[in-house]
A and B are shown apart, each in its own frame.
Chain A
Amino acid sequence: MAYLSKSPWILHYDASSCNGCDIEILACLTPRYDVERFGIINTGNPKHADILVITGGVNEQNRSVIQNLYDQMPHPKVVVGVGICACTGGIFKECYNIAGGVGEILPVDVWVPGCAARPEQIIDGIVKALGILEQKRADMSRAEAGA
């Protein structure tokens, strides 16, 4: 049934972010926003995570790390890019070591622009991602039933 969207566990990865968006994500966990009300937990473990939240433009060194983290997450899973750097590379786009946005290497489901993205926006993005997560789970169980 629909338990997945009631207990989304988040894996947060900082792909060369300036720490601006990271502290906004952590602000979501604090008493003011308290996303644990919705069952959201910040895990450090890709094997337990449902949502991969990435901040910052991807650089050439952590390209393989992000791919690896994504591959280790069990299906169904969604990716949320937080901040303008994660979306396009932002002001670092032209740097020689920056690959660009997260979209360069992963299929991103939700974009949360902003510099830095506000906690309200991030929560909105996660909630939007939950709908996509639920859709993916339905597709997965349909594929299993068909197979």
Chain B
Amino acid sequence: MNTILTAIAFLILAPVIGVLVTGVDRIITARMQGRVGPPVLQPFLDIAKLFEKERVGVWQAPAVLIFLHLAFMVVTGLIFFGGGDLLLAIFALTLSEVFLVLAAYSTRSPYAHVGAGRELIQLIAVEPVIILTAVGFYEVTGSFAASDIMNFSGLPVILLPGIFISVVCILTFKLRKSPFDLSTSHHAHQELVKGVMTEFSGSTLGMVEIAHLYEIVILLGLVYLFFVGNPILGVLAIIIVYFLEMLADNSTSRVKWLPALRGAWIITLILGGGNIIALSLL
């Protein structure tokens, strides 16, 4: 019963939390650059505006695929916060990303195609860590079910420090932040125009943005899972991790795709893999 309530709470509250997180992100980013920055609700205003605009598109396929991207992102969150199987949630998340890539490929714009290719590379870079995370939680708590992990009384991070650090590194990919914003051109708009999102406009782009709000909450939920025994420590960890992501975002420029892929895999193998091996030896 409790898990159903958290799932419903996720459905309603995730966009609100996502808007607040991205709004604060934009203000702090502006302060880091010596500016004042937009109001906290600016991400909401942007999305509301996108739904007021005309949707330009030669055909319907991208809009349908983007809707599926959003739908599976919501499904991921429902599985995750509803206490379902962690592996199932990860597969739903991947499926959601695949729909975004398919949508970009279906637009036939060269910029969108380059973005989609880079998005796939990012997916390949990120996926091993996320699966290792699930394996790590299984090693610690003896279950893949998110409800069992949430009822775990200890701090999984004590046994999973390597995996935690690799998840923090991977978050920069997932939150589409520099230096790993290869596929969307988060800051440097002119190089790739806007990567995967180049051809989406109006409500289609609005759906991408909403899906991203859900994604942020899911990823921050994953960070929280490492500190599940102590809620205060968990919230503190989320704030610190997100601040580190913003700091990295503002102090680095973009890397090429090969160093990004290599970096992600080296971290995965050494920290993540080493952590799992150490756990199995204990």
B45 touches A6 (CB 8 A): yes
| A107 in the interface (beta carbon within 8 A) | no
Bound form: Cα–Cα A34–B27 in Å: 12
Q: Contact mask A32-72 → B, CB, 8 Å, 1/0? A: 00101111001111011010000000000000000000001
Report the minimum CB–CB distance from B31 to chain A (whole Å): 10
Contact flag A39-B45 (CB < 8 Å), given A47-B56, A47-B200, A75-B53: yes
| B193 in the interface (beta carbon within 8 A) | yes
Chain B interface residue count: which class? 20 to 34
Contact flag A3-B38 (CB < 8 Å), given A44-B189, A48-B194, A72-B56: no
Chain A interface residue count: which class? 20 to 34
Question: Which partner residue on chain A sits nearest B33 by CB separation?
Answer: A31
B190 touches A44 (CB 8 A): yes
Contact flag A45-B52 (CB < 8 Å), given A34-B36, A36-B35: no
Contact flag A47-B49 (CB < 8 Å), given A34-B35, A42-B189: no
A47 touches B198 (CB 8 A): yes
| A93 in the interface (beta carbon within 8 A) | no
Report the minimum CB–CB distance from A12 to chain B (whole Å): 10
| A7 in the interface (beta carbon within 8 A) | yes
| B202 in the interface (beta carbon within 8 A) | yes
Bound form: Cα–Cα A6–B43 in Å: 11
| B84 in the interface (beta carbon within 8 A) | no
Report the minimum CB–CB distance from B176 to chain A (whole Å): 15
| A131 in the interface (beta carbon within 8 A) | no
| B201 in the interface (beta carbon within 8 A) | yes
Residues of A within 8 A of B198 (CB): 45, 47
> What 7 A-B pairs come out closest when comparing CB atoms?
A44-B189, A3-B48, A74-B54, A47-B201, A31-B34, A7-B49, A75-B54
List B residues at the A interface (Cβ < 8 Å): 26, 30, 33-39, 42, 45-46, 48-49, 52-56, 185, 189-190, 193-194, 197-202, 205
12 new A-B contacts, CB < 8 A, other than A7-B49, A34-B37, are A3-B52, A7-B46, A31-B35, A37-B38, A39-B46, A42-B189, A43-B189, A43-B194, A45-B193, A45-B194, A45-B197, A47-B198
Identify 22 residue pairs between A and B in the complex whose beta-carbon atoms are under 8 Å apart, listed by A's number.
A1-B48, A3-B45, A3-B48, A6-B49, A7-B45, A7-B48, A7-B49, A30-B35, A36-B26, A36-B37, A36-B38, A37-B37, A37-B38, A39-B38, A39-B39, A44-B185, A44-B189, A48-B201, A74-B202, A75-B54, A76-B54, A140-B54
